[in-house]
Chains A and B, each alone.
Chain A
Amino acid sequence: MNWEAIVTTLKLATATAIVLAIIGLPISYWVAFSKWRWKFLVEAIVALPLVLPPTVLGFYVLVAMGPHSPFGRWYDSLTGHGLPFTLEGLVMASTLYSLPFAVQPVAAAFRTIDRRLIEASWTLGVSSWGTFLRVIVPHAKAGLIAGFVLSFAHTVGEFGVVLMVGGNIPGVTRTISIHVYDEVQSMNYASAGTTSLVLLVFSFVILSVVYSLAPNRGRII
């Protein structure tokens, strides 16, 4: 077992899930309730990471972060170092990569809320923000937990984006999936086997939790 890789992975997944919980929530709300006619374009962009090869996404993120892009230069001038091959860079890339897993279950849960309950809250003088906290969140609890757990789990399992953006720096960007790949490359099948089994069991447990939250509401992913 490579504990260093496990710690790196958990750090990355926790940071990504928290960032996604913060930025995913308003996006989910907007996707669920907006009546803008071009909304489907935003929905398509959010869902892109589901179909795009991770290496393609990683390639674009790498270019966007690199010293030749305005964003890369701006970040460098701000912090004194670039984003590629750092944990921050990885969190940014993973946030994009796991975005659909944070947004889709939450937006789906928001959509199932009886519109009249929201309106009832308004007629009782409760602000939109108060209504969000007191009506929408309690009714979407399962979706919110699913969104958080899935974005965490999906980040744990990513490979292509990490390889492109993070490289393979032990203790910094070498995650479990990269570690398994390395072990197989160097013919360490026993070590790769144990780590893979841990990841398999972990993923199964996570998905069981998610499905137990919403047994009758059909699929959330």
Chain B
Amino acid sequence: MLTAEIAKTFKSGVQVKASLQIPDGSSVTVLFGPSGAGKTTILRCVAGLDQLTAGRIVFKDQIWADVASRRHLPTQKRPIGYLFQDYALFPNLHVRDNIGFGLHQLALSDRDERIRRTAESLQVEDLLDRLPTELSGGQQQRVALARSLVREPELLLLDEPLSALDGVARDHVRTELARLLRRLQIPAILVTHDWVDALSLGDRLHVMNRGVVLQQGTPQEVFAKPQHTEVASAVGMENLVAGRVKERSADVVALQVGGAELYAVDPHDGHHEYFVCIRGENVTLETGRAGLSSARNHLRGRVAEVSPAGSLMKVVVDVGFDVAALVTRQAVSDMALAAGAEVFVAFKASAVHLIPKSI
């Protein structure tokens, strides 16, 4: 169990505050927020790379830091693995020596055995004789993970593990990282500013901005019911619900969401559970069942709530789950949309964004 009450004041006057409680065993706690929110500071305080201004950190009955009694356990003595944002591999050392860097106290044969085993589990065994500059971004990340895991840490700290990657590589590495984090029997704290990372990797989410935690909960709770406009705008999704695959055919996947069924473009990643995300702008409202339309989803429901949202109106319709549509004020009055009115909700399969739920 990690219990941390962290307060850090920088010379510039910037303050960062957070409290964390993380149980033993496999779990991922995500610190989510824009850059400058203080997420990395929290991670560095847990690692002992930064000193607290106030508060204490206790891990499994061992005091890591306690400002009141002026205690600070050096980073070297904390059983952690730390993944740096750009991986911080030693550029002059081969992959083998990077991974084995922290095993200097072991006998040579034990060392080689540990390096080999860890390299295999992260699929970098073919890269052992290369230099970091000869690796792709994804390979560098796996080598850095191997280096931080080879000493069998009891807590894994990951600082923006995917930010150095882009596009396809990023999606692929994210899926692999999710699997690895499930497999490990230790808790992890992960810092990210990317809501897709937060949603697909996190078990618990702490949303941070300007040095404070704004909201915490499961990723689904936080994203579906953002309590602050910062959280809502960080995600930019009015609709976020959990869904389970019912059927796959060609490029379309049918999902059961609450009491309704909807169609989405199949991401072909083999997952069965997804977070279903739909932007409110992409949802159309119809008073009667329209004829042929390119929208694959037509769901009948009743208006639950109409409220202003900036220059638009937000209309929440219960179709078996709540769908929010963003429409103009003109549309609301033309269609006489009010609580209780019956409407059809329509959106294209391609407007549904699926994020794998890693369980």
| CB-defined contacts of B74 to chain A, threshold 8 Å | 122
A126 near B76: Cβ-Cβ < 8 Å: yes
| CB-defined contacts of A218 to chain B, threshold 8 Å | none
A124 near B88: Cβ-Cβ < 8 Å: no
Q: In the complex, A114→B89 CA distance in Å?
A: 11
B84 near A120: Cβ-Cβ < 8 Å: yes
Task: Determine how close the nearest CB of chain B comes to the CB of A51; give it in whole angstroms.
Answer: 32
- How many residues on A have C-beta within 8 angstroms of the other chain's C-beta atoms? 17
B161 at the interface (CB under 8 A from A): no
Task: Determine how close the nearest CB of chain A comes to the CB of B57; give it in whole angstroms.
Answer: 15
Among A117, A126, A134, contact of B88 (Cβ-Cβ < 8 Å): A117
**A-B residue pair count with CB separations less than 8 angstroms:** 48
Per-residue A-contact encoding for B81-94, CB less than 8 Å = 1, 0 else: 11010101110100
| CB-defined contacts of B88 to chain A, threshold 8 Å | 114, 116-117, 119-120
Indicate whether A119 sits within 8 Å of B49 (C-beta atoms), given known contacts A124-B102, A126-B76, A126-B101.
yes
- How many residues on B have C-beta within 8 angstroms of the other chain's C-beta atoms? 21
A125 near B92: Cβ-Cβ < 8 Å: no
B327 at the interface (CB under 8 A from A): no
Among B81, B86, B92, B102, contact of A126 (Cβ-Cβ < 8 Å): B102
Among A116, A121, A123, A139, contact of B148 (Cβ-Cβ < 8 Å): A123
B70 at the interface (CB under 8 A from A): no
| CB-defined contacts of B151 to chain A, threshold 8 Å | 124-125
Q: In the complex, A135→B90 CA distance in Å?
A: 8
Pick the most buried of B76, B81, B151: most chain A CB atoms within 10 A of its CB: B76
A122 near B75: Cβ-Cβ < 8 Å: yes
Task: Determine how close the nearest CB of chain B comes to the CB of A89; give it in whole angstroms.
Answer: 42
Per-residue A-contact encoding for B73-116, CB less than 8 Å = 1, 0 else: 01110001110101011101000000001101000000000000
Task: Determine how close the nearest CB of chain B comes to the CB of A47; give it in whole angstroms.
Answer: 26
A193 at the interface (CB under 8 A from B): no
The A150-171 residues at the B interface (CB cut-off 8 A) are none
B147 at the interface (CB under 8 A from A): yes
| CB-defined contacts of A80 to chain B, threshold 8 Å | none
Per-residue A-contact encoding for B144-159, CB less than 8 Å = 1, 0 else: 0001100100000000
Give me 6 other A-B pairs in contact (C-beta within 8 A), A123-B81, A126-B102 excluded. A116-B86, A120-B90, A121-B101, A122-B76, A124-B101, A124-B147
Binding site for B on A (CB under 8 A): 114, 116-117, 119-127, 130, 134-135, 138-139
Name the 6 nearest CB pairs between A and B, nearest first: A124-B102, A123-B82, A116-B88, A120-B88, A122-B75, A125-B102
What would 17 A/B residue contacts be, using CB atoms closer than 8 Å? Answer: A116-B84, A116-B86, A119-B49, A119-B75, A119-B88, A120-B84, A120-B89, A121-B101, A122-B76, A123-B49, A124-B148, A124-B151, A125-B76, A127-B76, A134-B101, A135-B90, A139-B92
